[in-house]
Amino acid sequence: MDEPLPSTDADPDAEPTATQPTARGWTAEEPRTITPPSELPSAQATVKGRIKVEDEVVEKVAALAALEVSGVADMGGDLARAFESVRDRIGFGSRRGNQGVDARILDRQVAIDVTIVVEYGHVVMEVAAEVKANVARSVSRMLGMRVTEVNVTVDDVRLPGERRSATVEE
């Protein structure tokens, strides 16, 4: 059976009762107390489930971070760049955003290997050190993971006038 509707002249300051409206509708027998949002447990601590970040996501973030460094001409080893050049010429697919990067995730920790090509005229060790620092900083900040190591391999030096895809003869 339907409950009788409460009177419309209810005291707004009175504690809710069985016949008084509340913020969430008609309520039960006991008075309600409202907990301020600052005292509520965080949703992160109370919601069950898991978040999985694929290796490829870490690799793309790391590749973009490496390419931000002045003096980095390209990513990947000779074979990867040659394959990329052929793929560009025949119009098959698009450039992989994670070329030249390999990431291994365990829990919330990650180890990253980065292979770069340095532009001629830049100090190779300085560029590699900056890549290492920028990759670690970006992955840590964007993904909230602890970066345990970043290994940088300088595979080649890009000479002046050399194109990105110069590793494959036309």
Mean pLDDT value across residues 27-46: 61
pLDDT tens digit string along 121-152?
Answer: 999 999 999 999 999 999 999 999 999 999 99
Distance between CA atoms of 55 and 77, rounded to whole angstroms?
19
Q: What is the pTM of this model?
A: 0.62
Q: Distance between CA 116 and CA 131 in Å, rounded?
A: 9
- Could you give the residue ranges of the DSSP H alpha helices within the chain? 43-46, 55-67, 78-90, 124-143
Convert the pLDDT of each residue in 148-165 to its tens digit.
999 999 999 999 887 765
The neighbouring-strand residues paired with 110 are 105, 147
Phi, psi of 16 (to 5 degrees): -65, 145
Q: Residue 25: is its pLDDT beyond 60?
A: no
Q: Are 116 and 81 in contact (CB under 8 A)?
A: no
Q: Token digits for 48?
A: 């069950």
Beta carbons within 10 angstroms of residue 38's beta carbon: 5
Q: What rounded mean pLDDT belongs to the chain?
A: 78
Pair 118, 72: CB distance under 8 Å: yes
The ranges assigned to domains in the chain are 55-158
Is domain 55-158 given the CATH code 3.40.640.10 in the classification?
no
pLDDT band at 170 (very low <50, low <70, confident <90, very high): very low
